[in-house]
């Protein structure tokens, strides 16, 4: 955990406005959220207010406010008399989150096919270039950039409420992958992102939705959300079939 703390501390917290606690709360919230999304802070890990405050050089009150925001976003849970922990969504909850995400992202596509801001494609293509640079080099950064592509799509709709919900559900999907995914590969994600941009550029709503559905379906499959066998009879029944052949 020391390495994680050191890495997070090196990002730096701005102390140039100590009279405005909201600035510090925003910064601590942003850094903790990033550490969770990049899977540095793993699901179930306890987040002591004093330890977090010491690492960032802020008061426990600032940390507490940041943790409350993260709890509201579904990234942190609070246990009575035990403090705050990185959330551990159940498989049922995870499946529900992916279902909601697909609905939200299809609405994003519908809006963008109807109207894209003047600089929208430039922003999207610049982001994909960043994804290409990170591909195969930095796993945590690739994970974060993959999610941020979807947030950018939502922000380009101009609907702040829709963008907020997409941001939250994308963050929670990153947490789910941290718990359940076998591995993360950005290769297919970047290619899918490029195809989604091109389909929207052509106004081909059906194709864009199809690609997005395939894309999110592949992400969900990596999460292995199907219940695992938890007893020896269930586990060995599969191997017993081979013996009977």
Q: Residue 59: which CATH number?
A: 1.10.10.10
Tens of pLDDT, residue by residue over 80-94, are: 888 999 999 998 999
Q: Which of 53, 86, 119 is the last residue of a domain?
A: 86
Model confidence at 185: pLDDT above 80:
no
What is the mean predicted confidence (pLDDT) over 159-175?
94
Model confidence at 11: pLDDT above 90:
no
With residue 78 as reference, give the H or E element that holds it.
Answer: strand 76-79
Q: Are residues 6 and 26 in the same domain?
A: yes
Distance of CA 193 to the CA centre of its chain: 16
Q: Which of 86, 113, 133 is the last residue of a domain?
A: 86
Q: Are residues 74 and 12 in the same domain?
A: yes
Q: Are residues 171 and 205 in the same domain?
A: yes
Is residue 145 within 8 Å of residue 130, measured between CB atoms? yes
Q: Which of 35, 54, 86 is the last residue of a domain?
A: 86
pTM of the model: 0.76
Rounded to whole angstroms, the Cα distance separating 45 from 103 reads: 31
Instruction: Note the pLDDT of residue 139.
Output: 72
Instruction: Note the pLDDT of residue 28.
Output: 92
What is the mean predicted confidence (pLDDT) over 127-151?
86
More confident residue, 226 or 144: 144
- Dmax over Cα atoms in the chain, in whole Å? 74
- Asked, for residue 238, whether it belongs to a domain, the answer is no
Q: Are residues 53 and 110 in the same domain?
A: no
């Amino acid at each position: 955990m020391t390495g994680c703390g050191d890495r997070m501390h090196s990002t730096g917290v701005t102390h140039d406005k100590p009279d405005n606690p909201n600035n510090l709360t925003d910064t601590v919230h942003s850094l903790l959220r990033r550490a969770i999304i990049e899977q540095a802070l793993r699901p179930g890990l306890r987040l002591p207010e004093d330890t977090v405050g010491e690492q960032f050089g802020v008061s426990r009150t600032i940390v507490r406010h940041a943790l409350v925001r993260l709890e509201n976003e579904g990234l942190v849970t609070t246990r009575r008399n035990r403090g705050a922990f990185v959330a551990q969504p159940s498989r049922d909850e995870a499946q529900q989150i992916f279902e909601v995400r697909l609905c939200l992202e299809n609405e994003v596509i519908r809006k963008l096919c109807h109207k894209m801001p003047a600089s929208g494609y430039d922003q999207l293509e610049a982001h994909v270039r960043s994804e290409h640079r990170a591909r195969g080099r930095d796993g945590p950064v690739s994970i974060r950039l993959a999610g941020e592509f979807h947030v950018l799509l939502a922000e380009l709709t101009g609907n702040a409420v829709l963008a907020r919900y997409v941001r939250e559900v994308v963050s929670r999907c990153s947490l789910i992958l941290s718990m359940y995914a076998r591995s993360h590969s950005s290769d297919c994600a970047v290619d899918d992102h490029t195809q989604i941009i091109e389909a929207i550029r052509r106004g081909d709503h059906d194709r864009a939705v199809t690609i997005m559905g395939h894309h999110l379906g592949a992400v969900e499959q990596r999460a292995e959300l199907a219940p695992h066998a938890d007893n020896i009879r269930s586990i060995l029944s599969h191997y017993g079939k081979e013996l009977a052949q």
